[in-house]
Amino acid sequence: MRIGVPKEIKVHEYRVGMTPSSVREAVHHGHEVLVQKGAGFAIGLLDEQYAAAGAKLIDTAEEIFASADMIVKVKEPQESEWKQLREGQVLFTYLHLAPDPEQARGLMESGVVAIAYETVTDARGGLPLLAPMSEVAGRMSIQAGAHCLEIAQGGRGQLLGGVPGVPAAKVVILGGGVSGTNAARMAMGLEAHVTVIDLNLHRLYELDTRFGPSLNTIYSTVDAIEEHVLGADLVIGAVLVPGAAAPKLVSEDMVKKMKKGSVLVDIAIDQGGCFATSRPTTHAEPTYILHDVVHYCVANMPGAVARTSTFALNNATLPFTLALADKGHAKALAGNPHLLAGLNVYKGKITYQAVSDAIGVPYTPAAQVLAS
């Protein structure tokens, strides 16, 4: 198979779909890999390294989209990219279609086979291709939030961990999954007062057992969210409904009642955000202030630490990339129900229920489209 790796074009996105090591594995499996020149330059992955790994260096993304059988990316295709996709071509990347009906319809019109990293599953019910970026985003959310609490950023001028004789900041984390757990770990490491709110009692039990009395665990209700959010200095939105738009857990009225200079960091912004006042931002302009509350809603948070993120992502995606290349998408999808869960768009049809519900397009089961 001919695998194409174009350079990412989203604002301040420096991750790359395949590292030289991943390219070497694919070439070892007998595949041809086309890498756009300069795709990994910003994070120290040089063209010479790709060439040494067996990649063919290509001048433009247009050439790659025109000739590759499978496109491996990191971020969802931008409009100029999805217009270059063609029928039957495989697209393997993050998609986040539920809050982005325009992209979903663009992919449908292209006839592409689009497999989303964020909905691929594993035998334990996890999301193995989302997990590494959730880990990064969770850890980053605390350092970003701590920075936003500084006066110069519009925050209330509070040090996250306080100092002797001065209270530490109160950090509230909505969601105790992978990103929420990593956020809690970092916040506790900085000696903040940390509360995790979640609907899953089993998960709250696991967190309580793991972290003990240094972590406050609360069952999620409207009352509990309101009480803790209004008293917080920093709130991390880390809720996830796989493939679906994030639920709005914090209303605009709650935001209006929060302390002046408090901070909201919305990790869920890729799926539409879990704060009613959230709107996507970029690393170029990461924050805005609304109702005297600082909002950090960068839609590709891990892109800020692109080198770490690229290697972490490749560790997770490479086996699936090789399976798709070795077997072809039809056999690979039919033979692996976890990879099949990642199929969101298939030759003009939406094959993921949550995306169908979110954008109002008819749903066709993934197994059905493969059988037809």
Q: Are 322 and 305 in contact (CB under 8 A)?
A: no
Q: What is the DSSP letter of 245?
A: P
Q: Are 33 and 336 in contact (CB under 8 A)?
A: no
From 100, 198, 233, 270, active-site residue: 270
CA angle 218, 220, 223 (to 5 degrees): 100
Answer yes or no: 122 catalytic. Answer: no
Answer yes or no: 223 catalytic. Answer: no
User: Hey, what are 335's tokens?
Assistant: 């033979």
322: part of which helix (H) or strand (E)?
A: helix 306-327
Sheet order of strands, 90-93 included: 56-58, 32-36, 2-5, 70-72, 90-93, 113-116, 343-346, 349-350
Task: For residues 116 and 201, give the distance between their C-alpha atoms in angstroms, rounded to a whole number.
Answer: 29
User: Hey, what are 344's tokens?
Assistant: 């969101």
Q: How many CB atoms lie within 10 A of CB 156?
A: 19
367 phi and psi, to 5 degrees? -60, -35
From 96, 228, 295, 329, active-site residue: 96
| Residue burial 329-351, b: 16+ Cβ < 10 Å; e: rest | beebbbebebbbbbbbbbbebbb
Catalytic residues: 96, 270
